[in-house]
A and B are shown apart, each in its own frame.
Chain A
Amino acid sequence: MSKLAPLGIAAGLALSLTAQATPTVEELAEIVAAQQEQIDALQRNPSASRTHIGGYGELHVNFVKDADNAVDFHRFVLFFGHDFNSSLRFRSEFELEHSLAGDGAPGEVELEQAYIEYDLAPGRVVRGGLMLVPVGILNETHEPPTFYGVERNRVEARILPATWWEAGMAYAGTLAEAGLSYDLMVHSGLAVDPDSISIRSGRQKVAEATANDWAGTARIRYHGVPGLQLAASLQYQLDLSQAADDGVDDALLFTTHAIYNRGIFGVRALFAQWDINGDKAAETQRDRIGGWYIEPSVRPDPRWGLFVRYEALEQKRDAEETNTVAGVNFWLHEHVVIKADYTVRENPDDPEVKSVNLGLGYQF
């Protein structure tokens, strides 16, 4: 039936009612039903519902002992998505970091996701484009209301390095009865400086990136018990510096994590480690880079929760950095959070850093 037909029925009934002094209850019910059918049809209008907008953001204030305090609108992110049909969709994430971008400005405008996703079958999809690499906890799920602490943990920021996106193709699926999900991704690789071998600085962000040597990532996650997630990822990079004969060769990243939420209690733990081949990597003691953290938490009320987190990471052998963080989240709404924490950072090369941090975050 035409979408306009209900309007016609309603109009016809209305006209007939004008000829009668008082409509019956049945006639009124029929008019209302016809109008409702039209409303429903309008709400199903594909052009109105196929394009989606979302976003998240976070403002941070850092009070640092014996150093300058800082205030920063750290991330302002917009999601744009479009469903071409029920099986083919586009998803993207566009970010302004540190509020101001441009020459000499502290921030960056970044395209962090832009991919096409196609449903192969129930529970199985293939993606192509610019995507988040399936490693760790925060790399894919980092909206502020979903995690504790004003700043993201340093293990995932420095070692994985979140947020980490690459261009490539991915295949993902679920085995529902077994409680398993899996991801396979073939993608562009890092390009670390052979002198510093900084993993985080090696992100090319798919910006006119060198693509001589690609990489592959596989992940498996287990959700077979309510509240539990166990995951492991393995990634192989053909050449971590994208250049031959520079002393930095292929590399393997292994990461695993566990998340368990039971009632008001929760705990997250993660381990990540790079094994990097090459003479220069060995000479500079950066052939093994890694770290771990554990974060127990309690949420006595949906509106607030407490946590502590201990992080240990080595970006060079025998140069361990530790971070101890304790704090609180207040959720004004399930999608709006106020955060406060106290952080102590220690490493062998720098003085101890103590800070009180405040944050305001949202998602929609």
Chain B
Amino acid sequence: MIRILLALLLALAGTAHAEDVILPPDDFLASAFGGAPPPARTLWVTGELRESAQAILGHPPSSLRVRYWQDSGRSAWILEAIGKESPITAGFVVENGELREAEVLIYRESRGGEIRFPSFLRQFPGLRLDESGLSGHVDNISSATLSVNAMKKMAALALLLASRS
């Protein structure tokens, strides 16, 4: 038993330190705009837009400003939301009021990392924002419910913000 623990500790000691960056934000933006992302713009989340964002998130947005990237009717949004304890960073591409892509960029929660799986993320493209929220059903991952909820809220927020950009 002690030998097993020592082997595990030695393996850990020899491992490089690494944050759980699944897709670097710069790579996401490059992919969203064919390798040449446009300069960042700023959207002020105030007034009625802030109220709508609060309705989606269930709490006031953490910032009055959101950076985004837009070119030829296509916009990219990098947002953060807390699943259970820590912020999840996700990227969304919106075009003509419709989600084109959803990616988990940085995952910091202890459990629920299955939201990075392509089988989950491919439920987002094609969704729009309607009066009740996202226009289609996103099936849950039962061991990652809070992370799934965070992704759904961020997707709806990206669609809302894109409609005002």
Closest to A168 in B: B5
Whether A174 and B113, one on each chain, are in contact in the complex, defined by CB atoms closer than 8 angstroms, is yes
* With A52-B85, A186-B5, A227-B139: A122-B110 Cβ-Cβ less than 8 Å: no
- Interface presence of A226 (CB below 8 A): yes
Whether B149 and A334, one on each chain, are in contact in the complex, defined by CB atoms closer than 8 angstroms, is yes
- Interface presence of A123 (CB below 8 A): yes
Whether B108 and A223, one on each chain, are in contact in the complex, defined by CB atoms closer than 8 angstroms, is no
* Chain A positions within 8 Å of B64 at CB level: 36, 39
Closest to A80 in B: B85
Whether B119 and A179, one on each chain, are in contact in the complex, defined by CB atoms closer than 8 angstroms, is yes
| Min C-beta distance of A352 to chain B, whole Å | 32
User: Which of A19-27, A57-65, A84-92, A96-104 is the contact stretch?
Assistant: A84-92
- Interface presence of B20 (CB below 8 A): yes
Whether A226 and B5, one on each chain, are in contact in the complex, defined by CB atoms closer than 8 angstroms, is no
User: Which of A8-16, A112-120, A246-254, A322-330 is the contact stretch?
Assistant: A112-120
Most buried by A among B85, B118, B137, B145: B85
Whether A261 and B8, one on each chain, are in contact in the complex, defined by CB atoms closer than 8 angstroms, is no
User: Which of B9-17, B68-76, B157-165 is the contact stretch?
Assistant: B9-17
Closest to B1 in A: A214
* Chain B positions within 8 Å of A46 at CB level: none
- Interface presence of A320 (CB below 8 A): no
The complex places the Cα of A140 from the Cα of B112 at a distance, in Å, of 11
* With A89-B110, A120-B15, A169-B8: A227-B140 Cβ-Cβ less than 8 Å: yes
Most buried by B among A86, A118, A181: A86
Considering only residues 76-97 of chain B, those with a C-beta below 8 Å from chain A are 84-86
Whether A122 and B8, one on each chain, are in contact in the complex, defined by CB atoms closer than 8 angstroms, is no
Question: Count of chain B residues with Cβ under 8 Å from any Cβ of A?
Answer: 41
Q: How large is the interface on A (under 10, 10 to 19, 20 to 34, 35 or more residues)?
A: 35 or more
The complex places the Cα of A229 from the Cα of B142 at a distance, in Å, of 8
* Chain B positions within 8 Å of A263 at CB level: 137, 139
| Min C-beta distance of A304 to chain B, whole Å | 16
- Interface presence of A70 (CB below 8 A): no
- Interface presence of B22 (CB below 8 A): yes
Whether B119 and A122, one on each chain, are in contact in the complex, defined by CB atoms closer than 8 angstroms, is no
- Interface presence of A177 (CB below 8 A): yes
* With A122-B21, A181-B114: A224-B119 Cβ-Cβ less than 8 Å: yes
- Interface presence of B18 (CB below 8 A): yes
Closest to A186 in B: B4
Whether A181 and B113, one on each chain, are in contact in the complex, defined by CB atoms closer than 8 angstroms, is yes
Whether B84 and A229, one on each chain, are in contact in the complex, defined by CB atoms closer than 8 angstroms, is no
- Interface presence of A48 (CB below 8 A): no
Considering only residues 162-210 of chain A, those with a C-beta below 8 Å from chain B are 169, 171, 174, 176-177, 179, 181, 186
The one of A40, A87, A140 in contact with B63, judged by C-beta atoms closer than 8 angstroms, is A40
Closest to A259 in B: B142
Closest to A115 in B: B110
The complex places the Cα of A176 from the Cα of B141 at a distance, in Å, of 14
Considering only residues 1-41 of chain B, those with a C-beta below 8 Å from chain A are 1, 4-5, 8, 12, 15-22
The complex places the Cα of A225 from the Cα of B119 at a distance, in Å, of 6
- Interface presence of A83 (CB below 8 A): yes
Whether B110 and A91, one on each chain, are in contact in the complex, defined by CB atoms closer than 8 angstroms, is yes
- Interface presence of A146 (CB below 8 A): yes
A interface with B by C-beta (< 8 Å): 33, 36, 39-40, 43, 52, 54, 79, 81, 83, 86-87, 89, 91, 117-123, 125-126, 137, 140-141, 146, 169, 171, 174, 176-177, 179, 181, 186, 214, 221, 223-227, 229, 259, 261-263, 268, 334
Question: A174-B113, A176-B116, A224-B119 known; 18 other A-B pairs, CB under 8 Å?
Answer: A36-B63, A36-B65, A52-B85, A54-B85, A119-B19, A120-B15, A121-B16, A121-B18, A122-B20, A122-B21, A126-B12, A146-B145, A177-B118, A214-B1, A226-B120, A227-B141, A261-B142, A263-B137
19 A-B contact pairs sorted by A residue (CB < 8 Å): A36-B63, A52-B85, A52-B86, A81-B85, A81-B86, A87-B18, A89-B86, A121-B15, A122-B22, A123-B20, A169-B5, A174-B114, A174-B117, A221-B114, A224-B119, A226-B120, A229-B142, A259-B142, A261-B140
